[in-house]
């Protein structure tokens, strides 16, 4: 009897290609969209006043007075946290798929294209595999710390979601110390790296852990100072305040409003690259030197957590930079008054308000995905810096640069009238546009420089 | 500078320690006494006219017939583009030789390899350890009388050769075929089943895979 | 003792200098030791006190096999000596035995040997340059290098039937003639190659991080390179203008003019890792020039000299030197008149390069050790044979 | 001091320039065709047919044209070929080949056996997919049954030997044997059969 294996075996997706596409579409758009709609619906309603009003009007129950009101508020907060955590996990997965496809294309290969349409379900398969895989613990590892390490990193990943604004009013809580809170909280990730490096009791992990600690801690400084620049320009630490201080059009964004902010933007992005352990700073898990760095001994679900932290961190890095420098969720056409008008007086806002929210969330997502694409693009172009070069880059270039930007912004605020700020905004926007166009032309010309290559988008 | 001139200079400097340039087919070489090898090499390297600064290769050849292990030095001068082959003979049972590591640093690893594969002991070598074979290996593989170890710490490196096994089965079958064809006797007696390997082969005669098992 | 093995049992041991030290085994299974090589390293985490290479994991005893297999039968084994530049291993063995027999390959065979050899050199340099970029952290140059190497593998597969272990040379000539239309396929590839190498330079060669990681790292002075017997790009990287194709010409190389790229210390000092890297990149351009000239002046005639079917060279010894991609490959064949060689010695460039790593490893960082190993382009099969 | 400042800012401009060039190159690859050949299932024709004519795949012997000269057995450096010849009892002039086995699991595809073969009986096919249920199945027996041995083929002067098209015999044999594990030739100690 002939057992046919491999080529012509009719696996599920081959017999019903439509099924594969349906499942992929559901996973690709259904899940993130449902999370977004849930965020859209629930985040704004999250303030105690609104909750009391809702309870009063719909259920006739006087929530404000009852002793259990804090229970209800925390219940709602848990629901919101559930949405945020799910969004992180889904984004972590989707960005791995995007990274593997983009990296493939940049390395003139394909990347995953068999599981699901265009290989999109690869990350679902990875997640399931990782959860089902046996998570071995080295015999001489420090059991408690070894098990706990990934959750430190995960906490460090999830806390910034509290202040990261998705849209005009879809933010978990609009803290008035937003930026300060974010810089404080992102240090948690390094605790996870250090603890996992030490607890694995493997020399490679130890090297990776120590390098991670040195890197993330020393890059907190330039990141912190560079983030102060938009705070100065907006006058408030609150993330929503900073975004409202910027307009929708590029010349209203802080990044173009003064030269120091332009430089501070690049310093902030470089330092957040280092904090997220992305190339050119992926020293803690340098494959070619330390085999796999701090998560060398991990497998199964704990490794899934570490990898999720690494990839979901890109959203936070991108989101932070977009909120503070690139105008956050500001939709070019819509001003504050229009949001207020659309909000209306009743308990349930008018549909136009929801449309505006969706638009603002979309703008924020597009800008953040653009930055995430840049992080991926940088990873597959640049080599890795050495440990001492990383430290010297931080202390000799980024820290003095950040201080300089801080001082220049102060002087800029004092000396330059608002109309001057607007002019520099326009001048810098034009300069950026010209640079972008030149860049794209060079890219196109690169293809013709190599004989025998041409633009060819086939072979997916 | 041709090899003859180099040999002449050597001869003139070291007298009888340096033999004549050989007349054999292929490359010609110079035989040097084993006590003088370090001085000869230092002389070759340092004298201005010779400048043999590039030690291309040091290797050894085992001559059991002459009870000698010959150590061969291929030295070359990058400046003057001339080369020389120097040979030293050491006794085969207790081969010892002075190291030329002082003259060329390249000799460190080359001599370690000769020590590992031939057993030539280089006195004064900074770090004489086995280089290719495991540290606790017994014997020197490149010697002519070396018996293959067939494995290391119980891990065998030989697999029963299927072809040898196969030919045994087919020999028996062919004898059976020839016996059946030539002997006019009515029923050829079934082949006697020898002990040992026969048990496996009797049942496991692999005719064309499609044949059912029964037909032998 | 090379490294105090007693150190190995302690995870952390306080030395007299006050800092704690560990003995780490870089290898034998390690992503960037280019094959099965182990570097026993004494380090305090970042700075290496000493790193002693421990080789022999891939020792197959090819020299012993040389004494047990008849002369023509040994040719496939020479591919296994350096499977990334197998054409040169074949050519070296063929040249050695031809000098032993006193036979001369016909001119067409010499030209074909030069073409196949230089193509193989380009493919080997792509691997060495690509893996070096990978070890420094940039993954994309490696896949681009492998893509270009694929086209060469396809060309050589059309020529001799195999992609890696060619077994294409024979004693006294080559096994097959060039297939029809193969020449212009090669020329089309070379046009693409020359323009691609400029893109390679834009992508990685002058990348600031790449330069900072390689400049002034693992500096080998001219005297030290000669003293340690380095060969090929490692020697030329240190400024020594020495290439067997030009200085001890063999085969068809006297008929071609080509430049020998030598390290000039353009970004750091002469003889640092970047110089060796850049010498290999330039050598690719030179090799494509040679292949063009060889294809243009390819003579007619047969491709195999008259050689007896059962080779029995009379007693004597001969040396075959070939400028392999990893430097000078020296075959020293001693025959005693029988059908099998009495002694076959193969000296390779990587073995000599391994010898210098211990001395370079004092006081460098872990990432530099990886960069030095990659720049010396050592490959385990060539070291252990 | 001025030198240090110039060098300090020189580093920064170098970084910007070289990153700019590097990034343009990688972005340009987003618009070029990846070179991946999507073996095994998304190819226009079988991989074996896309290989060049000199490709050295699995060995195949056409017993009809084998002259029994055993040149290939002598040429093989690792003794992978095993031939046994015998006098044909029925007519004394004719000799027969009763055994012609090649252990393809040990063969290193070097092509030294194909060269001396006078009639081209032994050839490298373009087949390379030789996954078998057990390594013993890779020992191909070209004389199927010693009882029907193959007679020596006498080559006719000036005429090419009528050889079967390349790969045909091998594909048929592989189709039969690849997924059926023969009883182990190597005796009880051999690899376990499921």
Mutate one of A98, A108, A450 to test the D interface: name it (highest D CB count within 10 A).
A108
Section C323-342 average pLDDT = 92
pLDDT at C12: 53
Least confident window among A447-451, B193-197, C149-153: B193-197
**D133 part of contact set with chain B, CB < 8 Å:** no
Q: pLDDT higher for A206 or D148?
A: A206
| Helical packing angle, A69-106 and A122-132, nearest 10° | 120
Q: Do C332 and B59 make contact, defined as CB atoms within 8 angstroms?
A: yes
**C208 part of contact set with chain D, CB < 8 Å:** yes
ipTM here: 0.86
Q: What is the 3-state secondary structure (H, E, C) of chain C?
A: CCCCHHHHHCCCEECCCCCEEEEEEECCCCCCCCCCCEEEEEECCCEEEEEEEECCCCCCCHHHHHCCCECHHHHHHHHHHCCCCHHHHHHHHHHHHHHHHCCCCCHHHHHHHHHHHHHHHHHHHHHHHHHHHHHHCCCHHHHHHHHHHHHHHHHHHHHHCCCCCCCCEECCEECCCCCCCHHHHHHHHHHHHHHHHHHHHHHHHCCHHHHHHHCCCCCCCHHHHHHCCCCCHHHHHCCCCCCHHHHCCCCCHHHCCCCCCCCCCCCCCCCCHHHHHHHHHHHHHHHHHHHHHHHHCCCCCCCECCCCCCCCCCCEEEEEEEEECCEEEEEEEEECCCCECCEEEEECHHHHHHHHHHHHCCCCEHHHHHHHHHHHCCCHHHHHC
Q: Do C203 and D111 make contact, defined as CB atoms within 8 angstroms?
A: no
Q: Is the pLDDT reported for residue C202 higher than 80? A: yes
Q: How many CB pairs under 8 A join C and D?
A: 74
Provide the percentage of residues in chain D whose pLDDT is more than 70. 91
Q: pLDDT higher for A354 or C326?
A: C326
- Domain ranges in chain C are 61-347
CA distance linking residue D60 with residue D124, whole number of Å: 6
Is there an interface between B and A (3+ Cβ pairs < 8 A)?
Answer: no
Chains that touch D (3 or more CB pairs under 8 A): A, B, C
pLDDT at A102: 93
CA distance linking residue C113 with residue C115, whole number of Å: 6
Tokens 């977009």, residue located: A322
pLDDT at C351: 92
Q: Is the pLDDT reported for residue A226 higher than 80? A: yes
pLDDT tens sequence across A354-367: 888 888 889 999 99
How many CB atoms neighbour CB C290 within 10 A? 22
Query: Which one-letter DSSP state was computed for residue A237?
Result: S
- Please name the CATH architecture into which domain B3-133 falls: 2-Layer Sandwich (3.30)
pLDDT at B191: 46
pLDDT tens sequence across A428-442: 999 999 999 999 999
Chain B residue with Cα closest to D174: B209
pLDDT at D190: 43
- The rounded mean pLDDT for chain C is 90
Contact A145, A197 (CB under 8 A): no
Q: Considering only the top CATH level, what class is C61-347? A: mainly alpha
Section C218-244 average pLDDT = 92
pLDDT at B23: 78
- The rounded mean pLDDT for chain A is 86
In chain A, what residues touch C135 (CB-CB under 8 Å)? 288
Q: Is the pLDDT reported for residue C18 higher than 90? A: no
pLDDT tens sequence across A164-188: 888 887 888 888 888 999 988 888 8
Say if strands B96-98 and B121-123 run parallel, antiparallel, or are unpaired. parallel
Q: Which of B160, B173, B208 sits opposite D144 (nearest CB)?
A: B208
Band (A319; pLDDT cuts 50, 70, 90): very high
Torsion angle defined by CA atoms of residues C81, C85, C89 and C95, in that order, rounded to the nearest 10 degrees: -170
Q: Do C208 and D108 make contact, defined as CB atoms within 8 angstroms?
A: no
pLDDT at B5: 86
Q: pLDDT higher for A265 or B48?
A: A265
Section D105-125 average pLDDT = 91
- The rounded mean pLDDT for chain D is 85
Task: Work out the minimum CA distance from A380 to partner chain D, whole angstroms.
Answer: 8
pLDDT at B13: 87
Q: Is the pLDDT reported for residue A9 higher than 50? A: no
pLDDT at D149: 81
pLDDT tens sequence across A355-410: 888 888 899 999 999 999 999 999 999 999 999 999 999 999 999 999 999 999 99
pLDDT at A255: 92
Tokens 């047990």, residue located: C68
Q: Is the pLDDT reported for residue D20 higher than 50? A: yes
Section C101-107 average pLDDT = 92
Chain A positions touching chain C (beta carbons under 8 Å): 103, 106-109, 203, 206-207, 210, 279-280, 282, 286-291, 380-389, 446, 449-453
Band (A115; pLDDT cuts 50, 70, 90): confident
- Collect the ranges in chain B with pLDDT lower than 70: 165-171, 173-174, 176-216
Band (A75; pLDDT cuts 50, 70, 90): confident
């Amino acid at each position: 009897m002939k057992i046919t294996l491999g080529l012509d075996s009719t696996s599920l997706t081959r017999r019903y290609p439509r099924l594969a596409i349906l499942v992929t579409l559901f996973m690709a758009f259904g899940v993130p969209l449902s999370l977004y709609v849930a965020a859209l619906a629930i985040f704004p309603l999250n303030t105690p006043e609104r909750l009391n009003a809702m309870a009063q009007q719909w259920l006739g129950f006087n929530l404000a007075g009852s002793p259990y009101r804090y229970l209800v508020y925390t219940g709602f907060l848990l629901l919101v946290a559930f949405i945020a955590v799910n969004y992180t996990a889904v984004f972590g997965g989707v960005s791995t798929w995007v990274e593997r496809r983009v990296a493939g294309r940049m390395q003139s290969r394909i990347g995953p294209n068999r599981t699901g349409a265009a290989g999109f379900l690869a990350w679902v398969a990875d997640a399931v595999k990782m959860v089902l895989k046996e998570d071995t613990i080295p015999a001489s590892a420090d059991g408690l710390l070894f098990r706990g390490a990934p959750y430190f990193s995960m906490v460090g990943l999830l806390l910034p979601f509290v202040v990261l604004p998705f849209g005009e009013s879809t933010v978990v809580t609009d803290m008035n110390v937003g930026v300060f809170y974010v810089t404080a909280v992102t240090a948690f990730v390094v605790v996870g790296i250090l603890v996992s490096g030490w607890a694995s009791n493997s020399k490679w992990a130890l090297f990776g852990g120590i390098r991670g600690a040195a890197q993330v801690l020393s890059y907190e400084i330039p990141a912190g100072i560079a983030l102060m620049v938009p705070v100065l320009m907006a006058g408030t630490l609150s993330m929503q305040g900073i975004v409202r201080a910027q307009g929708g059009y590029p010349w209203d964004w802080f990044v173009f409003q003064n030269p120091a902010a332009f430089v501070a933007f690049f310093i902030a992005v470089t330092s957040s690259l280092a904090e997220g352990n992305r190339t050119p700073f992926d020293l803690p898990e340098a494959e070619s030197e330390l085999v796999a760095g701090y998560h060398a001994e991990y497998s199964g679900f704990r490794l899934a957590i570490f990898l999720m932290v690494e990839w979901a961190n890109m959203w936070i890095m991108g989101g932070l930079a977009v909120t503070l420098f690139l105008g956050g969720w500001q939709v070019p056409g819509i001003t504050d008054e229009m949001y207020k008008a659309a909000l209306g007086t009743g308990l349930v806002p008018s549909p136009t308000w929801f449309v505006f929210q969706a638009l603002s969330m979309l703008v924020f997502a597009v800008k953040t995905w653009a930055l995430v694409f840049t992080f991926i693009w940088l990873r597959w172009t640049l080599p890795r810096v050495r440990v001492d070069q990383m430290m010297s880059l931080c202390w000799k270039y980024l820290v003095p640069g950040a201080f300089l930007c801080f001082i220049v912004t102060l002087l800029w605020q004092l000396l330059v009238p608002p109309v001057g700020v607007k002019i520099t905004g326009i001048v810098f926007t034009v300069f950026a546009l010209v640079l972008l166009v030149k860049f794209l032309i060079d890219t196109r010309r690169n293809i013709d420089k190599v004989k025998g290559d041409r633009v060819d988008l086939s072979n997916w | 500078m041709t090899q003859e001139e180099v040999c002449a200079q050597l001869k003139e400097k070291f007298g009888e320690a340096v033999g004549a340039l050989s007349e054999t087919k292929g490359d010609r070489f110079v035989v040097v006494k084993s006590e003088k090898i370090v001085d000869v090499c230092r002389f070759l390297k340092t004298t201005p006219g010779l400048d043999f600064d590039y030690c291309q290769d040091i290797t050894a050849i085992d001559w059991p017939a002459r009870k000698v292990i010959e150590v061969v030095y291929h030295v070359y001068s990058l400046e003057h583009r001339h080369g020389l082959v120097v040979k030293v003979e050491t006794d085969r049972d207790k081969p010892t030789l002075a190291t030329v590591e002082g003259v060329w640093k390249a000799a460190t690893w080359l001599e370690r390899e000769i020590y590992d594969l031939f057993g030539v002991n280089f006195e004064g070598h900074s770090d004489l350890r086995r280089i290719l074979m495991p540290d606790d290996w017994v014997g020197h593989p490149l010697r002519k009388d070396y018996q293959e170890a067939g494995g290391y710490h119980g891990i065998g490196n030989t697999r029963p050769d299927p072809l040898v096994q196969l030919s045994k089965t087919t020999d028996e079958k062919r004898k059976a075929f020839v016996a059946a064809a030539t002997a006019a006797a009515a029923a050829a007696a079934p082949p006697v089943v020898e002990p040992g390997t026969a048990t496996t082969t009797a049942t496991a005669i692999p005719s064309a895979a499609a044949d059912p098992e029964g037909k032998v | 003792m090379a490294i105090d093995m007693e150190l190995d049992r302690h995870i952390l041991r306080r030395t007299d200098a006050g800092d704690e030290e560990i003995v780490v085994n870089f290898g034998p299974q390690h992503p960037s030791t280019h094959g099965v090589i182990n570097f026993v390293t004494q380090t305090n985490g970042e700075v290496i006190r000493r790193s002693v290479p421990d080789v022999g994991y891939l020792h197959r005893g090819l020299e012993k096999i040389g004494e047990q297999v008849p002369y023509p039968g040994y040719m496939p084994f020479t591919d296994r000596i350096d499977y990334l530049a197998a054409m040169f291993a074949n050519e070296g063995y063929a040249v050695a035995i031809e000098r032993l027999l006193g036979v001369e390959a016909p001119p067409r065979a010499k030209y074909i040997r030069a073409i196949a050899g230089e193509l193989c050199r380009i493919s080997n340099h792509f691997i060495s340059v690509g893996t070096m970029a990978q070890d420094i952290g940039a993954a994309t140059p490696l896949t681009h290098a492998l893509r270009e190497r694929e086209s060469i593998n396809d060309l050589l597969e059309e020529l001799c039937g195999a992609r890696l272990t060619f077994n294409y040379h024979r004693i006294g000539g080559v096994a097959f003639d060039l297939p029809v239309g193969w020449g212009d396929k090669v020329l089309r590839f070379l046009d693409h190659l020359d323009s691609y190498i400029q893109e390679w330079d834009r992508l990685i060669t002058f990348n600031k991080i790449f330069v900072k990681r390689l400049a002034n790292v693992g500096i080998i002075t001219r005297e030290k390179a000669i003293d340690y017997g380095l060969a090929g790009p490692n020697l030329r990287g240190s400024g020594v203008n020495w290439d067997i194709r030009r200085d001890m010409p063999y085969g068809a190389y006297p008929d071609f003019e080509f430049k020998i790229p030598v390290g000039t210390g353009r970004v750091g000092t002469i003889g640092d890792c970047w110089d060796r890297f850049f010498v290999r990149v330039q050598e690719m351009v030179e090799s494509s020039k040679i292949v063009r000239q060889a294809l243009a002046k390819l003579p007619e005639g047969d491709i195999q000299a008259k050689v007896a079917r059962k080779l029995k060279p009379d007693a004597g010894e001969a040396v075959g030197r070939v400028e392999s991609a990893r430097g000078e490959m020296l075959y020293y064949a001693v025959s005693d008149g029988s059908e099998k060689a009495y002694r076959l010695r193969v000296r390779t460039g990587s073995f000599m390069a391994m010898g210098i790593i211990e001395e370079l490893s004092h006081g460098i960082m872990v990432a530099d050790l990886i960069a030095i190993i990659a720049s010396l382009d050592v490959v385990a099969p060539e070291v252990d044979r | 001091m001025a030198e240090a400042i110039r060098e300090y800012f020189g580093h920064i401009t170098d970084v910007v320039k070289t990153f700019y060039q590097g990034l343009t190159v990688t972005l340009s690859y987003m618009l070029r065709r990846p070179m991946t050949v999507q073996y095994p299932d998304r190819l226009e024709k079988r991989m074996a047919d896309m290989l060049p004519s000199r490709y050295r795949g699995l060995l195949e012997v056409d017993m009809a044209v084998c002259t029994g000269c055993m040149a290939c057995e002598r040429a093989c450096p690792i003794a992978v070929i095993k031939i046994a010849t015998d006098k044909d009892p029925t007519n004394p002039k004719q000799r027969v080949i009763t055994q012609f086995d090649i252990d393809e699991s040990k063969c290193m595809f070097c092509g030294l056996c194909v060269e001396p073969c006078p009639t081209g009986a032994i050839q490298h096919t373009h087949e390379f997919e030789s996954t078998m249920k057990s390594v013993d199945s890779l020992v191909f027996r070209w004389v199927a049954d010693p009882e029907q041995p193959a007679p020596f083929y006498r080559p006719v002067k000036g005429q090419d030997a009528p050889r079967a098209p390349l790969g045909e015999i091998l594909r048929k044999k592989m189709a039969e044997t690849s997924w059926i594990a023969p009883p182990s030739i190597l005796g009880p100690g051999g690899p376990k059969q499921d």
